[in-house]
């Protein structure tokens, strides 16, 4: 009999469990069948590998030698199989074996990762978070990330100087996050002009969003009070305390006691985009990732039926804008 890797797995299982019976259970074999297999292995190697008594099975000197070699060979073979699978996957037009996705956050990244994990359970998926589009774009350009899923203000697209392809997932109206008992939280949308005396807070980041908000306020006849910047939790805390109103996406799920409504006329917009390098393996798989992002967006936005109904009067916004940029 020629010794094979499966035989080494048997020897390791008996050593790890300390029992032929337990090893048989672990390997899904009948105990007599495993005993017979062990005897054939021992005949091939020229001597007993275990001392067996009522206390269990303990490796002999020959058994220790075989185990020391098996514990090197088995992981090496597993590594070879994994590397071969990754190489084979790299040649696929619709999948990769590894996905490195950077994101500013928001409603889409979680659903993308969930769908990828279900579709490719053996794929390596990692995520990286940043508040800044520039940082994520530079990491894609440097080959440290495969994709950047980000949000940008209004009709903007991240700068072409990064050399990346940017594809729109969806465009949404920006909403105002406020307490449920706020005077402006009575209808289906808010009039920005009626909020001239409010203080504001929004998440940090780069881009032109603050300038565009100031311009929208100017068109409504007022200059906004100081715009505070903090993380999402800080924004929520300030709104709950009554210190400020926040600007948020319609897909944001407010905690109890808060609500959000779109601004009348949709003067402020937020574009969800996916970026990748055109010469990378990620470019081949990008349409598939875009499809997953689109499915996620539709699923998440459906949780806000009031906003979906509001969108009927704004066909240029929302899911209709998928993959058109």
Q: pLDDT of 18-50, one tens digit each?
A: 999 898 888 877 888 889 899 999 999 999 999
- Rounded average pLDDT over 134-156: 87
Q: pLDDT of 108-126, one tens digit each?
A: 899 999 999 999 998 999 9
pTM: 0.65
Domains (range + CATH), the chain: 5-90 (1.10.10.10), 98-169+272-304+316-321 (3.40.190.10), 175-267 (3.40.190.10)
197 DSSP 8-state letter: T
Q: pLDDT of 240-266, one tens digit each?
A: 999 999 988 888 889 999 999 999 988
| Contacts of residue 172, Cβ cutoff 8 Å, sequence gap at least 6 | 249, 250, 251, 269, 270, 271, 272, 301, 317, 318
Q: For residue 1, give Cα distances in angstroms to 14, 40, 41, 240.
A: 20, 8, 8, 74
């Amino acid at each position: 009999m020629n010794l094979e890797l499966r035989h080494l797995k048997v020897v390791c299982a008996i050593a790890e469990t300390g029992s032929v019976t337990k090893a048989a259970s672990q390997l899904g074999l009948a105990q007599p069948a495993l005993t017979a297999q062990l005897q054939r292995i021992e005949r091939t190697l020229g001597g007993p590998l275990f001392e067996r008594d009522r206390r269990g099975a303990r490796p002999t000197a020959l058994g220790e030698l075989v185990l020391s070699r098996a514990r090197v060979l088995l992981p090496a073979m597993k590594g070879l199989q994994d590397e071969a699978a990754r190489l084979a996957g790299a040649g696929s037009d619709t999948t990769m074996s590894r996905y490195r996705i950077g994101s500013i956050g928001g409603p889409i990244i979680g659903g993308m990762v969930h769908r990828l994990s279900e579709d490719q359970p053996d794929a390596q998926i990692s995520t990286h978070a940043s508040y800044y589009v520039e940082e994520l774009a530079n990491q894609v350009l440097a080959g440290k990330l495969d994709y950047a899923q980000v949000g940008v203000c209004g009709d903007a697209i991240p700068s072409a100087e990064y050399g990346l392809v940017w594809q729109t997932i969806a465009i949404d109206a920006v909403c105002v996050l406020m307490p449920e008992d706020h005077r402006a939280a009575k209808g289906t949308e808010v009039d920005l002009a009626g909020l001239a005396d409010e203080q504001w807070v929004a998440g940090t980041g780069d881009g032109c969003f603050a300038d565009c908000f100031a311009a929208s306020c100017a068109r409504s006849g007022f200059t906004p009070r100081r715009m505070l910047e903090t993380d999402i939790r800080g924004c929520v805390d300030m709104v709950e305390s009554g210190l400020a109103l926040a600007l948020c996406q319609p897909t944001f799920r407010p905690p109890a006691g808060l609500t959000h409504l779109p601004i009348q006329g949709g003067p402020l917009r937020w574009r969800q985009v996916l970026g990748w390098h055109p010469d990378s393996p990620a470019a081949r798989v990008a349409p598939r990732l875009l499809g997953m992002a689109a499915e996620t967006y539709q699923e998440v936005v459906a949780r806000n039926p009031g906003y979906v109904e509001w969108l009927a009067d704004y066909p240029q916004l929302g899911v209709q804008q998928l993959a058109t940029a």
